[in-house]
Amino acid sequence: MNKKLRKKNTAVGIIPARFDSLRLPGKPLVDIGGKPMIQWVVERASRARLLSKVIVATDDQIILDRVQAFGGNVVMTPKGISSGSDRVALVARDMDADVIVNIQGDEPFIEPQEIDLVAQIVFENNQSVMGTLVKRIINVEELTSPNIAKVIIDNQFNALYFSRSPIPFCRDEKSYEIWIHNHRYYKHVGIYSYRKDFLLRYAEWEPSPLERIEKLEQLRALENGYRIKVAETEFESVCVDTLEDLIKVRQLVDSGLVVDR
């Protein structure tokens, strides 16, 4: 780690939190263990060692009021922004930071170590303008789910492509169980780090064709000729996209398997 950069505290975490969600409207405010989900994310992100500040970027007055009520930093942004990265970029323009970390607002149990890990990607690699995390896929359900983005990487741990389809395609085998046995498959963990100047440039580009068809914003960077460096995490994130997901995380808290620390 570059100790000089660590001392400068030049990484800022921004959490995009919009109210509208097709599958779970108002999800940043859903109650988990007696507090809104966005508060879980803010409190955990605030424990990351490499972040000097954590800010929520929202498009809704109610979310803004709730974040202010628990003492969080929050900024109002317009509705209709095309992606979380674009919303983060809008807030990052006024930030005095070299590195911006885009933290998903629907992962209430995110580990601070994951945030530090993704920030380190661009801190430690002078040529890297964008970083993200991956985790090995260990079951067929993850491999085949369109709700889980898959990623293929090169020998230097740069992302080659992201897709909601199982990639790479194992032509000579029909069984997904054999696919997983024969190849190391990865799923994408939706957290990003960027050099600030790159993020602002990214936000100037129109959503790209592959981004539009896959509904994966990171493809915009690849289509414009930039590399995304990845690091592997062992932490299992829990993303709240549906009512079923919400029930699952509430059960984890109620059972004591996840402790609010």
Domain residue limits at 171: 3-243
**Is 257 part of a structural domain of the chain?**
no
CATH number, position 67? 3.90.550.10
Tell me the CA distances in angstroms from 206 to 83, 216, 227, one per residue in order: 11, 13, 18
Residue 178 lies in a domain: yes
pLDDT (tens place) for every residue of the chain, 261 residues total = 444 444 455 899 999 998 887 778 889 999 999 999 999 999 999 999 999 999 999 999 999 999 999 999 999 999 989 899 999 999 999 899 999 999 999 999 999 999 999 999 999 988 999 999 999 999 999 999 998 999 999 999 999 999 999 999 999 998 999 999 989 999 999 999 999 999 999 999 999 999 999 999 999 999 999 999 999 999 988 889 888 889 999 999 988 877 665
pTM of the predicted model, to two decimals? 0.92
User: What b/e readout covers 151-164, taking b as 16+ CB neighbours within 10 angstroms?
Assistant: bbbeeebebebbbb
Q: Is residue 126 part of a domain?
A: yes
Residue 68: C-alpha distances to residues 19, 104, 135 (Å): 16, 19, 34
65 within a domain of the structure (yes/no): yes
What's the structural domain count of the chain?
1
